[in-house]
Chain A
């Protein structure tokens, strides 16, 4: 699409690409510091047990061991994202609550010595009855995992808007289904790692994280150190997907070990530890009851969703809410009731996920298709009928300011010939559609905003300082691209200093889809402030009005007489002469209702704006084996104006893999409290050969508040790709799916159910 910009909206090579493809990029495990020690963690072999005693004495005697700690060596402060969820001791002293929980740790001259030392730590446990199923855990008399949470109910989100029962009674068509989905593994390419270096009262830390400032604050609390002495430094990240938003036990362990040993400490988790002992994704059971008018209007929704939360709260209140919100931000619900329960079980801790809530979202969408069919409608019509439009307000009172939902539905269905294919019902072939909306940022109190500082050096090169962090999405390149556009210098002239808590200012981090809408907006404001100074000097020097000055290709020029121009670097030097260098600061704070609270007040403006998208999957089923293949996948996304269309497409493609294709293969398998597939062999991440042909469609809209009209790019597809696949399989089998992932055995059962074959 043509636009008036030099860099924005262009398919530019991301600033981080070269280092990553050549292997030059440094990750936490690559860090080597003088005198650095290796740490290892002793983990709980029990799903639930009292800790009677932890004895580190013999471990400390192993030659080469420099420090050993257990929870008794910490301040015993419990971590929690919210005041009412502070339940995670990181290194427990009372009891262990899942297999793989951190119990003690050592730092030694090398990994082998550390492993040897672990075998000399003695822990006496008294095993307790454990519970692994959330429905069982909610029953009276089930083993209590935290005494503060009765019947193991960690979070109950109750939303009740309008008159649900009355509307349901009057509805022409009512349908209720229950959907289940196994929790997933984040399966980041980089297993978790942290380096801590304590010196002279200052602690430096490196780890893959999704928000350095919130991480530093948490550690400052847990270590009782002032914030300016806990420095989270910039490092490349091998993926987060929502699983690295919070402080991790490893951060605390490495920090205490470094403080004790007086030397830097590196802790690198194994692939298996990354799966069992960092974060996992919630298993979900969602019951969806929907009432519709004869014309397909949704008149009532009644939900009960149970989230298996594992052993601790983590981001519980958010996780219990998000699937509901991304759905209510997409469709018009006049009467809706949502009861979301997050329940403790003796399994690994569950966190937020980029594709969080697939049972709920795919369930809603698949059910809608079958109801539409009963009413003589198709998935396209029913979505267009119920989809929100710009200017409308959601059930919980969020105003939608820009909305391309309709266009994404239309374009995706036109491109795929959806209506025809859906109606034709070719044997063992199916097509399905998934829609969702995505908030760009959500309420995080004063942490919801971002600030940026920019300076121009005497050679006209730029240093950009922002808290924005990149977990692989391209946020760094995004910040540079925005600055490049505003300042009129090429991207390569900009050095980015980011995500380093002693250099950068507060930023919400990259887990609420705020990096573009909030972070890049702050960058834009800062650069505009710096730009004004360049423009003022250039106007004077060139003898034209400020309004006539343009900045491009390192030059300031008169728009009317482009030959009248000067180097931007001259303006920078002149500014130094005047004692007023070209610097700028800028902030952006989204218009959010800060009275909103996930549990106590679940209404009010959720975010500054919302992205929208539609995914369409086409599937074929092997009728004898039940194996699903996905030959084609089409995704249409309203991400506002794409800053870098190539980066948005990359995010969409990654989303189709991680959410879409994963729908037929990914799921954690459990035997009681034992995770059966903590590795990448038996946890089935889709491979290149499993990928469909992909068509990405960017529906370019202009958000009134987004930087250059941009919104979140990519996550919307991550949150609806599973729906498209589940709907397509349901379309092919002729029966609404029941459980994800759609492995061949389940699909074969569905085919036989439809045929009426007895099982």
Chain B
């Protein structure tokens, strides 16, 4: 499959990238590692007039400690982040999710910012233009129906970032810069809950930094997949605890992750969350494994991740 034609511009800094955004009247896509974007463009799921490359922006490539936060530039590759000593020592859940992302070759290409802002996926959405035209366009393609759940009024596409789950479990925040200025918010606030347009980012906004509170944590990331490499999660669970507080995040099912705050750090608290998440999860038949099975696995993986997190503490 060949790429359609588009203009390519490389931005040296954020201001220039936003200027390009305005010059092309918003008909652009920002490019970081490209591991999510390029397949989407090849499938004609995204047809930008121009692609604005952010890779040359030096400021987005750094990892630094600032005032109680670990600040990660959005263009830091997954591989570099995985090999960062602070991540290994302080944030085991993040280390595990980075390690579980795709394969090392793609970890070297993909960036943390791009990984967080990857589009939601569906077995009936990530298909060629010919396939989708024959099948009929769904909500997410601008159509009037969901092709997976007849008569549904929402889009059930799945958010498949491994790392957003562990980052949210670590109470990470993000910094966004756009035509209207700069803002900072907790990571979980970027999700709209709408599979058609899964993020709350404003037009032209660029994710520039991810900030994690610099506190040693315990945690784990559990991922359900058929193959042990490359596969997206059919279900992902990130667990992280700091002292008597903790969080469990469940993703890979539906357009936005489920986030649970733990009131206490013990087996029964985790069990409560597992039960709650099991009843909250609404998988549909849009991946290679059945929704029933994926639902069943929600509590299994939460208990596994929590066991690992609790054991680490001993």
Interface residues, chain A, CB within 8 Å of chain B? 43, 45-46, 99, 111-112, 115, 270-272, 624-626, 665, 669, 671, 674, 676-679, 681-682, 684, 686-690, 743-745, 748
A678 interface neighbour in B4, B131, B231, B304, Cβ under 8 Å: B131
For residue B37, CB closer than 8 A to chain A, the reply is no
Task: Return A733 CB to nearest CB of chain B, in Å.
Answer: 16
Contact string against A for B residues 43-58, beta-carbon threshold 8 Å, 1 for contact and 0 otherwise: 0000000000000000
Task: Kindly state the separation between the CA atoms of A112 and B1 in the bound complex, as whole angstroms.
Answer: 11
For residue B5, CB closer than 8 A to chain A, the reply is yes
Task: Return A661 CB to nearest CB of chain B, in Å.
Answer: 10
Interface residues, chain B, CB within 8 Å of chain A? 1-2, 4-5, 103, 123-124, 126-128, 130-131, 133-135, 224, 226-232, 288-290, 292-293, 296-297, 300, 304
By a CB distance below 8 angstroms, the chain B residues around A43 are 130
Task: Return A43 CB to nearest CB of chain B, in Å.
Answer: 6
For B2, the closest partner residue in chain A by CB is A111
Task: Kindly state the separation between the CA atoms of A678 and B1 in the bound complex, as whole angstroms.
Answer: 13
Rank and list the top 4 A-B pairs by shortest CB-CB distance, nearest first. Answer: A45-B134, A745-B293, A689-B228, A270-B1
Task: Return B102 CB to nearest CB of chain A, in Å.
Answer: 10
What 12 new A-B contacts, CB under 8 Å, besides A112-B4, A624-B304, A688-B229? A112-B2, A115-B2, A272-B127, A682-B123, A684-B227, A689-B228, A690-B228, A690-B229, A743-B226, A743-B289, A744-B293, A748-B293
Asked if B300 and A681 make an inter-chain contact with CB atoms under 8 angstroms apart, the answer reads: no
By a CB distance below 8 angstroms, the chain A residues around B228 are 687, 689-690
By a CB distance below 8 angstroms, the chain B residues around A682 are 123, 126, 288
Asked if A671 and B124 make an inter-chain contact with CB atoms under 8 angstroms apart, the answer reads: yes
Q: List 13 A-B contacts (CB under 8 A).
A: A111-B2, A112-B2, A271-B1, A272-B127, A625-B297, A625-B300, A626-B293, A674-B135, A676-B123, A678-B128, A679-B126, A682-B126, A743-B288
Task: Return B297 CB to nearest CB of chain A, in Å.
Answer: 6
Asked if B130 and A745 make an inter-chain contact with CB atoms under 8 angstroms apart, the answer reads: no
- The secondary structure that dominates the B interface is loop
Asked if B131 and A270 make an inter-chain contact with CB atoms under 8 angstroms apart, the answer reads: no
Task: Kindly state the separation between the CA atoms of A61 and B135 in the bound complex, as whole angstroms.
Answer: 29
Asked if B290 and A745 make an inter-chain contact with CB atoms under 8 angstroms apart, the answer reads: yes
For B285, the closest partner residue in chain A by CB is A671
By a CB distance below 8 angstroms, the chain B residues around A665 are 226-227
By a CB distance below 8 angstroms, the chain A residues around B2 are 111-112, 115
Task: Kindly state the separation between the CA atoms of A115 and B103 in the bound complex, as whole angstroms.
Answer: 33
By a CB distance below 8 angstroms, the chain A residues around B292 are 745
Task: Kindly state the separation between the CA atoms of A744 and B224 in the bound complex, as whole angstroms.
Answer: 10
Asked if B293 and A686 make an inter-chain contact with CB atoms under 8 angstroms apart, the answer reads: no
The listed residue with most B CB atoms (<10 A of its CB), out of A271, A625, A665, A686, is: A625
For B234, the closest partner residue in chain A by CB is A744
Asked if B289 and A744 make an inter-chain contact with CB atoms under 8 angstroms apart, the answer reads: yes
Asked if B134 and A674 make an inter-chain contact with CB atoms under 8 angstroms apart, the answer reads: yes
Asked if B226 and A684 make an inter-chain contact with CB atoms under 8 angstroms apart, the answer reads: yes
A674 interface neighbour in B1, B131, B224, B230, Cβ under 8 Å: B131
Task: Kindly state the separation between the CA atoms of A678 and B135 in the bound complex, as whole angstroms.
Answer: 14
By a CB distance below 8 angstroms, the chain A residues around B224 are 625, 744
Asked if B289 and A677 make an inter-chain contact with CB atoms under 8 angstroms apart, the answer reads: no
Asked if B227 and A45 make an inter-chain contact with CB atoms under 8 angstroms apart, the answer reads: no
By a CB distance below 8 angstroms, the chain A residues around B4 are 112
Task: Return A689 CB to nearest CB of chain B, in Å.
Answer: 4
By a CB distance below 8 angstroms, the chain A residues around B226 are 665, 684, 743-744
For A688, the closest partner residue in chain B by CB is B229
Asked if B230 and A687 make an inter-chain contact with CB atoms under 8 angstroms apart, the answer reads: yes
